[in-house]
Amino acid sequence: MISLPTSRSLNRLRRRPIPPPLRLVGGLALSIAIGTGLLLIPLSSTRPLSFMEALFTATSALSVTGLSIITPVQDLSFIGQILLMLLIQIGGVGFMVVAVIIFRLLGRRISFTDRLALSDSLGLLSPAAILSLTKRVLITVITIEAIGAAMLYLHWRTDPRLSEGQALFYALFHSVSAFCNAGFDLFIGTPGFADGLPRDSVTLFVMGALIFLGGLGIPVVADLTSYFQGHKFSLHTRITLLVVTILVVGGSVGLWLSEGFDTDGALHNEPLARQIIVTTFQSISARTAGFSGIANFEELTPGSQLLLITLMFIGCAPASMGGGITTGTFAVLSISLWSYARGLPTAQFSGRSLATGMVRRAAAVLTISLFVVLLATWLIVTTHDTTLDRAVFEVVSAFATCGLSLGLTDELNPIGQLVIIAVMFWGRLGALTIISAIARPNTSPQHVIYPEEQILIG
């Protein structure tokens, strides 16, 4: 006998909450659609933008990448530039954070599912006290960006090429763009700035500090702000600070050897102090910010290009403004490899053992990320007349939501633009979020355990 579903069971199905990963994917897609529509409004641009131009720009802004097929200062009106800055800010702090703020302003209750989605978007392990943390995150972000904007304004207002109003708005825009690791630049196309962003030491120092803080991640910044209140650093914070330091210093030294020490390098004729400042900034920026501290960026040596691809692929810390496989994934895999080489039964670091599930997740992130990068690179090489190194650089830059380019962005045809849009979308949400949203998790208990069998590896 077949029993028909009752009205009560149908209502229960209708009220079934959308899983957090699917909410994140749908939320970003909806945000991109809204951003695209707003950019297509005549008030937003100085010329009619095509749908692909608006879609590409909105995706790049909300994924805080910085790759662009338009020149924002020339093709966008002042209103459009403000809109672009808002899209970058929403993409940086997370659209779920913005949604929670709107719900609170409207007096709506934040459901547990919304808290889980917000926790996933911030990269937190638990949704406990998520609303209070959201408030702290916003206050911290606004404070850091305001300080950065003030410092840039005080420095740029003395530049005769900029008016007082330009200096103020450019300072605010680039402070948001730098802290959110977006890489959008209004100086490209501005009269008097043929090389784009000013590369004086003060500008590079302020911008580098903003990029560095934005790339540490919300949990690490929260730990740093509470450190002086007597709180100890968590294991995640200690590992993140260690890995970030190694990457910044190692990247800076590597770039100096390729561009400063090498006679064919772009910085060979610069003073040593200037070489250190520029290479350090570029090492920080390469891990998903996308600002170029080196003029004639497209003429970098092959060694520098390979090093930058590596830095971009690793990216920033989890729950940060940047992308990549994240320093957390890189650290877990490195610790696991070192522990295996030492014959330890589990991955161990600083007197702690890492959960087996964490190592499996890190391996899954690396595997899926390599597959996405290889597939996207193959599509670009197949549909464009370009070299492999330029294609790999462009794809990894989009995957890591970085924004650095060797000049291929302007040469992309519609197929290539769609590929880069998809990779930017993927890179902003992360491999596990998208896979969890697509796949149906197996929640039923496994009653059968299969026998083990060995296969050859290595």
Q: Please report the pLDDT score of residue 106 as a whole number.
A: 47
CA dist 218 and 316 (Å) reads: 11
Output the tens digit of pLDDT for each of the chain's 458 residues.
444 555 555 455 455 666 666 777 777 888 899 999 999 999 999 999 999 999 999 999 998 888 999 999 999 999 999 999 999 988 887 655 655 555 555 455 555 555 555 555 555 555 555 556 667 777 888 899 999 999 999 999 998 999 999 999 999 999 999 998 888 999 988 888 888 889 899 999 999 999 998 888 777 877 787 777 767 888 888 899 999 999 999 999 999 998 877 777 788 788 888 889 999 999 999 887 888 888 778 888 888 999 999 999 998 888 777 788 889 899 999 999 998 888 888 888 888 888 888 888 888 889 989 999 999 999 999 999 999 999 999 999 999 988 888 889 989 999 999 999 999 988 887 765 666 555 555 556 667 777 877 777 76
Q: Please report the pLDDT score of residue 279 as a whole number.
A: 92
Whether the model clears a pTM of 0.75, i.e. scores above it, the answer is: yes
Per-residue pLDDT tens over the stretch 364-407 = 889 989 999 999 999 999 999 999 999 999 999 999 988 888 88
Q: Please report the pLDDT score of residue 267 as a whole number.
A: 84
Q: Using an 8 Å Cβ cutoff, are 398 and 405 in contact?
A: no
- Residues contacting 436, CB < 8 A, separation 6+: 19, 21
